[in-house]
Amino acid sequence: MQRFQLYIDGAFCDGEASFESLDPATGTAWAQMPEAREADVDRAVESAHKALYDGAWSRMTATQRGKLLYKLADLVAANASRLAELETRDTGKIIRETSAQIAYVAEYYRYYAGIADKIEGSYLPIDKPDMEVWLRREPVGVVAMVVPWNSQLFLSAVKVGPALAAGCTLVLKASEDGPAPLLEFARLVHEAGFPPGVVNVITGFGPSCGAALGRHPRIAHVAFTGGPETARHVVRNSAENLASTSLELGGKSPFIVFADADLESAANAQVAGIFAATGQSCVAGSRLIVERSVKDRFIAILKRKAEAVRIGSPLDMATEVGPLATARQRQHISELVERSTAAGARIVTGGWMPEGGGFYYPPTILDCDGVDSPSLVEEFFGPVLSVVSFETEEEALLLANDTVYGLASGVFTQNLTRAHRLMKGIRAGVVWVNTYRAVSPIAPFGGFGLSGHGREGGLAAALDYTRTKTVWLRTSDDPIPDPFVMR
Ligand code: NAD
C-alpha cells in the first residue's frame, strides 16, 4: 500500500496516528495516510510562525518570493498528470477533469507570482506640517487553510498563491477524504526551495486536526472551504484566537433558461453544471429554473444527455461521470432523493443506487414543479438536478433568489436587456450568462449569504492576506511641545 507523510518545517514525517484512504472506484483501501493531531498541528504552526518572523523568508524581497512562486507554478505544470492521477485515485474525480484542472492550477501560481512585488503601500497627505505618514502593507500573519476533498489542488491554489505573494506563511490542512494530491504537492513546494516552515501541509480529522489548527493562538487568519455547518465551528473556534476568517461554502445555484435561449447549448452547460465532477462542485447549477413553454423540450434534451453519459472508472480518459468521493456522500444523496420523492418530486431519470463496489450514483433529474421538495433547498453535492418552471421574468428571479445560499448562477437568454436585469437582480457572487462553470485566476470568486464571505482569485485576494501598518515620522528637530496635548 502506498504511504504518504506530513510536511512540517521543511521535512517529511509521519503523523501521531495514521488511517487508510479508500479508492472510491472500488471501495477498498489503497493508501496509508498520516493523521496529524494536536501536537503535529502545534509543530506546524510554530514552524510557520518562526518562518514568518525569524528566518530566510522574512528576509526575502517580494520579488524573490515571486520567483519562488514562478518555480512552484512550473513544477505544478510539469507534474500535473502525476498529481491528477493521485487526485483521481484518492477522490474518484475523473482523470479527464483532474488533468485539465491541475494543469490550469499552475496559472494561479503564475498569476500570484506576478503580483508578489506589486503589493504597494501608500503615502498619506497628512494634515500636520512636521510629519511624514505612510501605510506599509505587511503579511497578515500565519494562515490556517482548510479545504474539502473536491478539487483540493485548485481550492488550495486560490489560498496558497495569494498568501505567499503577500508574504504570509501557512499550514494547509488537506481533507481526510482523499489527501494524497496535497501531500504530494508538498514535495513540489520542497523542490521549489521554499524555506522550512513557510508552507506546511498536514491532514487529519475535523475535530482533532482542523479545530486544533483553527483555534491555535498563533493563527491570524483562517481561510476555509467546506460546508456551512463546519464553517460555524470554524467561526466559533476563531472566538478563541480572534483570527479573521474567509469562508467559501456551499450553494444551491439557480440555472435559469428562457425560451429564447439556444437550448442545445444551454443543455450542455447544464450537464457541465450538474453532472461534471459527479456534481461534487460548490457551484453546481442544481436548480434548473426553466420557462414553462420549453420545459418539456429542454428536459427531453437533458434526459437524453444524462442517459448517454459514460459512467465508469475515473482513471479512464473516456469516463464522464465517476464515483462519489465517499460512501457517506452517496448515502446522503440517496436519502435526499428519497425524501424528495416522498414529498412528491418525480424522477425523470436516475434516482437509484447501483449495486457493486465503488461509490457510484447515476445522473439524476427530479421534476419538482408544484412540489415543496427538499431537493430544491438542501445541497446534494452530487449529480442530482431539481427542476421547476416559470411564466414571467419576475417569477424566474424570485425563484432564483429563493435560497439561503448565493454562490453562483446561470442565465440563458438571447435577450440582452433581460440578461442585464438578471445580472443585477440575482443575489449571488458569480453570474454566468450563456455559459457556466468558467473560472480564472483573474476573476474573483465567492458567495453571498450562507455561501460565505471573502473572495478568492483576483488582485484583491492577495491584499486580503495583508494588513496595514501606519508609520508616523516626525521631521522636526525641535523639542516635542506640550506633552499633555495630543498631536
Ligand atoms: P466539510 O465542511 O465537512 O469539510 C471541509 C474541511 O473542514 C475538511 O478538511 C474537514 O476535515 C475540516 N473540518 C471538519 N470539522 C472541522 C472543524 N471543527 N474545524 C476545522 N476544520 C474542520 O466539507 P466537505 O463535506 O468535505 O465538502 C463539501 C462542502 O464544501 C460542500 O458544502 C461544498 O459546497 C463546499 N465547497 C465549497 C467550495 C467553494 O469554493 N465555495 C468549493 C468546494 C466545496
pLDDT 10s digits, 216-252: 999 999 999 999 999 999 999 999 999 999 999 999 9
Residue 486 has pLDDT above 90, yes or no: no
pLDDT of residue 69: 98
Alpha carbon 429 to chain centroid, angstroms:
13
CA distance 157 to 106: 8
Distance (Å, rounded) from C-alpha 285 to C-alpha 253?
5
Q: Which atom of ligand 1 is nearest to the CA of 237?
A: 19
> Ligand 1 centroid vs 77 CA: distance in angstroms?
26
**What is the model's pLDDT at position 474?**
96
Q: Which member of 248, 291, 320, 456 is catalytic?
A: 248
The predicted structure's pLDDT at residue 472? 97
Set of cell numbers at residue 366? 427530479
Measured by CA distance, the residue closest to atom 35 of ligand 1 is: 226
End-to-end CA distance of the chain, in Å? 68
How far apart, in whole angstroms, are the C-alpha atoms of residue 82 and residue 102?
A: 10
Residue 247 three-state SS: strand
Residues in contact with 434: Cβ distance below 8 Å, sequence separation at least 6, in sequence order: 261, 262, 265, 266, 269, 411, 412, 413, 419
Supply 180's cell numbers: 494524497
Could you confirm whether 248 is annotated as catalytic? Answer: yes
pLDDT at position 357: 86
Residue-wise burial string across 109-148, b where 16 or more C-beta atoms lie within 10 A, e elsewhere: bbbbbebbeebeeeeeeeeeeeeebeeebebbbbbbbbbb
Nearest to 468 by CA among 166, 222, 239, 218: 166
Helix, strand, coil: what percent of the chain each, to 5? 40, 20, 35
Do residues 415 and 393 lie in contact, with contact meaning Cβ atoms separated by under 8 Å? no
pLDDT level of residue 101 (50, 70, 90 thresholds): very high
* Average pLDDT of span 298-308: 98
Assign 295 a pLDDT band (cuts: 50, 70, 90). Answer: very high
Distance 73 CA to ligand 1 centre (A): 25
Instruction: Categorize the per-residue pLDDT at 55 as very low, low, confident or very high, splitting at 50, 70 and 90.
Output: confident
Q: Which residues pair with 218 in a beta bridge?
A: none
By most ligand atoms within 8 Å of CB, the mutation choice from 209, 225, 232, 359 for ligand 1 is: 225
Please tell me which residue in 282, 291, 320, 456 is annotated as part of the active site.
282
With b for 16 or more beta-carbon neighbours within 10 A and e for fewer, the 250-269 pattern comes to bbbbbbbbbeebebeebbeb
| pLDDT confidence of residue 378 | 98
Q: Cα–Cα distance between 247 and 220 in angstroms, integer? A: 15
CA trace torsion 462, 464, 467, 473 (10° rounding): 60
Confidence of residue 464 (pLDDT cuts 50, 70, 90): very high
The rounded mean pLDDT for the chain is 97
Tracing cell 443575489 back to the chain, one arrives at 427
pLDDT (0 to 100) of residue 173:
98
Residue-level pLDDT at 485: 86
DSSP assignment of 398-463 equals HHHT-SS--S--EEE-S-HHHHHHHHHH--SS--EES--S---TTS-B--SGGGEE--BSSHHHHH
Please report, as a single letter, which amino acid is at residue 81.
S
In this predicted model, what pLDDT tens digit does every residue of 136-161 receive, in sequence order? Answer: 999 999 999 999 999 999 999 999 99
Q: How far is the CA of 226 from the centre of ligand 1 (A)?
A: 2
Ligand 1 center from residue 418 Cα (angstroms): 36
Ligand 1 atom 39, closest CA:
248
92 has a pLDDT exceeding 90: yes
Q: Which of 74, 71, 75, 94 is nearest to 84 (CA)?
A: 94
Measured by CA distance, the residue closest to atom 20 of ligand 1 is 210
Helix axes 62-78, 180-192, angle to 10 degrees: 130
| Contact 282 CB / ligand 1 (< 6 Å) | yes
Distance 302 CA to ligand 1 centre (A): 30
Three-state secondary structure call for residue 217:
coil
What is the arithmetic mean of pLDDT over 319-346? Answer: 97
Name the closest-CA residue to atom 9, ligand 1: 175
CA 124 remoteness from chain centre: 36
Task: Ligand 1, residue 456: give the atom nearest the CA.
Answer: 40
Give residue 282's pLDDT: 95
Mutate to test the pocket of ligand 1, among 90, 101, 146 (most ligand atoms within 8 A of CB): 146
The three three-digit cell numbers of residue 331, written as one number: 448515502
Mean local confidence (pLDDT), 83-102: 96
**Residue 13 falls in the annotated catalytic set:** no
Average pLDDT over residues 156-181: 98
Give the amino acid at 455.
Answer: R
Report whether residue 182 contacts ligand 1, using a CB cutoff of 6 Å: no
Q: What's the pLDDT at 117?
A: 98
Backbone angles phi, psi at 269, to 5 degrees: -65, -40
Q: 226 in ligand 1 pocket by Cβ < 6 Å?
A: yes
Per-residue pLDDT reduced to its tens digit, 390-447: 999 999 999 999 999 999 999 999 999 999 999 999 999 999 999 999 999 999 999 9
Predicted confidence at residue 83, as pLDDT, reads 97
Task: For residue 379, give the ligand 1 atom closest to its CA.
Answer: 32
**8 Å CB contact between 365 and 337:** no
For residues 352 and 334, the answer to whether their CB atoms sit within 8 Å is no
CB within 8 Å of 100: residues ≥ 6 apart: none
- Residue whose C-alpha cell reads 450562507 in the numeric block: 450
Q: Where are any strands of DSSP class E within 276-327?
A: 287-291
Going from the C-alpha of 119 to that of each of 46, 72, 116, 124, 297, the distances in angstroms are 26, 20, 6, 17, 52
> Within a 10 A sphere around the Cβ of 355, how many other Cβ atoms?
6
CA of 84 to the centre of ligand 1 (A): 21
Residue 263 has pLDDT above 90, yes or no: yes
Rounded Cα gap, residues 250 and 76, in angstroms: 27
CB-based contacts of 173: which residues, under 8 Å, 6+ apart?
36, 144, 145, 146, 147, 202, 203, 204, 209, 210, 213
Q: How do strand 131-139 and strand 6-8 relate by DSSP bridges?
A: unpaired
Cβ atoms of residues 169 and 9 within 8 Å = no
Strand partners, 246: 223
Q: What is the pLDDT of residue 288?
A: 98
Judge whether residue 211 has pLDDT over 90: yes
223 touches ligand 1 (CB under 6 Å):
no
The C-alpha angle with vertex 187 and arms to 182 and 189, in degrees rounded to 5, equals 85
